[in-house]
């Protein structure tokens, strides 16, 4: 079985995002692998370690620094990397989910033909969660989003899916299929130094986005990017009676 894993390079989860020149500031900001993509890579590598998969290919779309993200994926255990190079912003400002899904589709149908596609459930920059479902629609194949558990079952997979009310179990009967990964699925491994060294020798292929013949124009126009309004100061009350009065009459959270 071959697995294709999507890895996205995003502003690091721990960075305090700022707005500059009407858009999210990216200059000199630390960027790292999207945490949900890390989980997807970890799951793919575990499937390979348990001999369910034979090969794991990592795919990333973005500027030339995406090769660093791919090297992390390779250090975690992926076998090969594919880098679709573009200088378009991938945080929704320029490149948007439909175009990304179409690029994935082309690689899948014309090049790799994987049996399973693992993606993070969403990018922490755009928070869209759309590439997975859109890709499955384009490929006309089964999809399970927000996977909390993935088990090989018959010739497919048994996936536990997170919902607001609990989890549902879904049996994917035919492959290929798309699974998007959620937090509870696994805890990603650290990249060990020997693996980082080995990763340097693993092949990474670069494809220029503009040579793919796909319309990359955004479907949605970003009108405005602003920071959230600052939180209002709290007030101190003199005693419990005053607190109850405010909760009743101002905050209106008590009957």
The residues that touch other proteins, with contacts defined as CB under 8 A, are 12-15, 28, 30, 32-33, 35, 68, 72, 75, 187, 190-194, 196-197
Q: And the tokens for 139? A: 């490929």
- List, in order, residues 6 or more apart from 146 with CB less than 8 Å away: 121, 161, 162, 163, 180, 182
CB 25, min distance to other proteins, A: 13
Strands 23-24, 19-20: pairing is antiparallel
132's tokens:
């997975």
Shortest CB 28 distance to other proteins, Å: 6
Indicate the residue among 193 and 235 with the shorter CB distance to other proteins.
193
Report, in Å, the least distance between residue 222 CB and other proteins. Answer: 26
Closer Cβ to other proteins, 28 or 140, answer by number: 28
By C-beta, is 13 or 208 nearer to other proteins? 13
Task: Provide the minimum distance between the beta carbon of 26 and other proteins in the complex, in angstroms, as a whole number.
Answer: 13
In the bound state with other proteins, the residue whose beta carbon lies nearer, of 28 and 110, is 28
Residue 95 backbone dihedrals phi, psi, to 5 degrees: -85, 130
Give the residue with the Cβ less far from other proteins, 33 or 135: 33
Distance from C-alpha of 237 to C-alpha of 222, rounded to nearest angstrom: 43
Closest Cα partner for 169 from 157, 180, 182? Answer: 157
Measured distance CA(222)–CA(180) in Å, rounded: 26
Q: What tokens does 186 get? A: 């696994």
**Cβ closer to other proteins: 166 or 230?**
230
d(CA 145, CA 128): 13
Whole-angstrom distance, CA of residue 94 vs CA of residue 247: 45
Least CB distance to other proteins at residue 187 (A): 6
CB of 154 to other proteins, least distance (A): 33
| Tokens (6 digits) for 116 | 């399973």
**Minimum distance from residue 243 beta carbon to other proteins (Å):** 17
Task: Enumerate the β-bridge partners of residue 32.
Answer: 10
What does each C-alpha distance from 62 to 31, 118, 125, 214 come to in angstroms?
A: 12, 18, 14, 15
- C-beta separation of 179 from 150 below 8 A: yes
Which C-beta is closer to other proteins: that of 75 or that of 185?
Answer: 75
């Amino acid at each position: 079985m071959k697995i294709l894993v999507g890895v996205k390079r995003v502003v690091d989860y721990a960075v305090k995002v700022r707005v500059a020149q009407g858009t999210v500031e990216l200059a000199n900001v630390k960027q790292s692998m999207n945490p949900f993509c890390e989980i997807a890579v970890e799951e793919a590598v575990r499937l390979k370690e348990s001999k369910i998969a034979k090969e794991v290919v990592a795919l990333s779309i973005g500027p030339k620094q995406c090769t660093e993200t791919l090297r992390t994926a390779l250090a975690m255990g992926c076998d090969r990397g594919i880098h679709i190079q573009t200088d378009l912003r991938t945080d929704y400002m320029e490149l948007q989910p439909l175009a990304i899904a179409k690029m994935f589709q082309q690689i899948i149908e014309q090049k790799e033909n994987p049996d399973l596609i693992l993606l993070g459930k969403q990018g922490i920059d755009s928070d869209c969660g759309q590439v997975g479902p859109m890709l499955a629609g384009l490929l006309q194949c089964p999809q399970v989003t927000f996977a909390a558990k993935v088990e090989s079952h018959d010739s497919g997979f048994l996936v536990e899916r997170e919902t607001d009310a609990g989890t549902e179990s879904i049996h994917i009967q035919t492959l290929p299929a798309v699974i998007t990964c959620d937090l509870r699925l696994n805890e990603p491994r650290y990249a060990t130094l020997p693996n980082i060294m080995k990763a340097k020798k693993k092949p990474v292929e670069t494809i220029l986005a503009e040579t793919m013949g796909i319309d990359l124009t955004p479907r949605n126009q970003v009108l405005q990017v602003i920071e959230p309004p600052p939180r209002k100061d709290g007030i101190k009350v003199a005693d419990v009676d005053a607190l109850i009065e405010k909760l009743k009459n101002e905050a209106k959270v008590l009957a």
